[in-house]
Amino acid sequence: MFNQVTIIGLGLIGGSLGLAIRRKRLARRVIGVSRKPSTLRRATRIGAIDEGSTDLRRAVSGAELVILATPVDLIVSYAKRIAPWLQPGSLISDVGSTKATIVQALEHRLPRPVAFVGTHPLAGSERRGIDAASATLFDGSLCVVTKAAATNPQALARVRRLWSRIAGRAVVMSPREHDQALAAVSHLPHLVAFCLMGATNHGALMLAPRSFLDATRVAKSDPDLWDDIFLTNRIALARALRQFQRQLDRTKTLLSRADRAGLRRFLKHTHALRLTL
C-alpha cells in the first residue's frame, strides 16, 4: 500500500503498528524514530521497523506516510516540524487518543500538498514502551478515522484502507463525535479508576479482591500520557462526569432511603446494559 512508512514514537502503539504493517506487508519499508538508540535497537530486533533513526529529518525524507505515535501533546508540534520536509502528496497521520484539538490545529495549517488524517485505534493497554508492543495488538479491533471539513477525501480513503487491513474495521466520524464518545467509554472510566485509588485508604487496599483490581487496572496507565488525554478532552469529559455524578447521586438517594425496590430496578437495568456488550 505504501512505499515508505515512518513511525515517530516507538512505544506500545507505534511499535505494534510497525509490527503489524511489516507482518501484513503493507509497506515496502518501515522507518522508526525514537529519542533513544536503545529503543531503535529493540524495535529493529523484534521486527517492528526495518531501520531506525534519531534524526527526524532523515527518517521522514522519502516517506509516503508518517504516523505520529507520541504522547498527545507532542503530535501537533511534530507534524508542523516535519511537514516542510515531505514530498508533495505525502500523508501525515496520528494515533492520539483525543482528536478535535489535533485535527483543528493541523488540517488547515500544513503546507498545501501534504494531507493530514487523524486516527485513533481502539486497542491498547495500560502497558507502555517498545517491550509492550505486539504484532497482534490491533487484530479484530476497530479504528476511528476522523473526517472534518477540510479532510482530503483521497487521503482519508487511503488511511481508512490501511486501518481496515491492520485492525479489521475502520469507522469514519467527526473529531467531535469521537471525543464525546471516548469521553464516556474511555476517559471517564480511566478517571474513575484513578479516583477509586485515591478514595481507598491504605488499610482497605491490603484486602483488595480481584474485583477491585479489575476496576482499577487502568489506573496503572502512564500518568504522563493520561494528563494530556484528560486535558485535551476536558469539555467532553466534564459532560461525562456530570452524567456519572447524576448516577452517583441517584444511588446515594436510594441507599439513604433504604429503597430496596428502587435499588434493584437500577441494578437490573445497568446489569442488562452490561450484558449487551
**Taking the CB of residue 110, how many other CB atoms lie within 10 A of it?**
18
Kindly indicate which of the ranges 19-27, 35-43, 45-53, 164-172 contains the residues binding ligand NAP, using the contact rule CB under 6 A: 35-43
Which residue is listed with cell 452524567? 243
Which of 87, 129, 136, 154 contacts ligand NAP by CB under 6 A?
A: 129
- Helix (H) / strand (E) containing 32: strand 27-33
133-172: which residues touch ligand NAP (CB under 6 A)?
none
Region near ligand NAP per CB under 6 A, out of 103-111, 116-124, 166-174, 255-263: 116-124
Among 18, 96, 118, 175, binds ligand NAP (CB under 6 A): 96
Tell which one of 97, 101, 216, 233 touches ligand NAP (CB under 6 A).
97
Give whole-number Cα distances, 222 to 21, 125, 194, 228, 277, in Å: 25, 10, 11, 11, 26
Beta carbon nearer to ligand NAP, 9 or 175: 9
Binders of ligand NAP among 216-245, rule CB under 6 A? 222, 225, 229
β-pairing, 141-146 vs 115-121, is antiparallel
Q: Which three cell numbers stand for residue 124?
A: 491498547
Give min distance, CB of 182 to ligand NAP, in A.
Answer: 10
Give the ranges where the chain is alpha helix by DSSP (H): 12-23, 37-46, 56-60, 72-82, 100-106, 153-167, 175-182, 188-199, 202-205, 210-215, 223-232, 234-256, 260-275
Q: Contact between 186 and ligand NAP (CB under 6 A)?
A: no
Nearest one of 97, 18, 12 to 51, comparing CA atoms: 18
Which of residues 13 and 27 has its CB atom nearest to ligand NAP in the complex? Answer: 13
- The H-assigned helical ranges of 49-167 are 56-60, 72-82, 100-106, 153-167
152 touches 186 (CB < 8 A): no
Minimum CB separation of residue 221 from ligand NAP in Å reads: 7
Q: Is 32 near ligand NAP (CB under 6 A)?
A: no
Which of 121, 144, 148, 187 contacts ligand NAP by CB under 6 A? 121
Considering only residues 10, 63, 82, 83, which one is a binding residue for ligand NAP as defined by CB under 6 A? 10
Question: Closest distance between ligand NAP and the C-beta of residue 33, in Å?
Answer: 8
Of the ranges 55-63, 91-99, 101-109, 263-271, which one interacts with ligand NAP (CB under 6 A)? 91-99
In 3D space, the residue among 95, 49, 59, 53 whose CA is nearest the CA of residue 74 turns out to be: 95
CB-based burial label for 266 (10 Å; 0-12, 13-18, 19+)? middle
State which residue, 35 or 45, has the beta carbon closest to ligand NAP.
35
CB of 15 to ligand NAP, least distance (A): 7
Given a contact cutoff of 8 angstroms between Cβ atoms, the answer to whether 102 and 94 are in contact is yes
Applying CB under 6 A, the site for ligand NAP has a residue count of 27
Task: Assess 79 for contact with ligand NAP (CB under 6 A).
Answer: no
Q: Which amino acid is at 205?
A: L
Residues engaged in binding ligand NAP (CB under 6 A): 9-14, 34-36, 39, 69-72, 74, 95-97, 120-121, 124-125, 128-129, 222, 225, 229
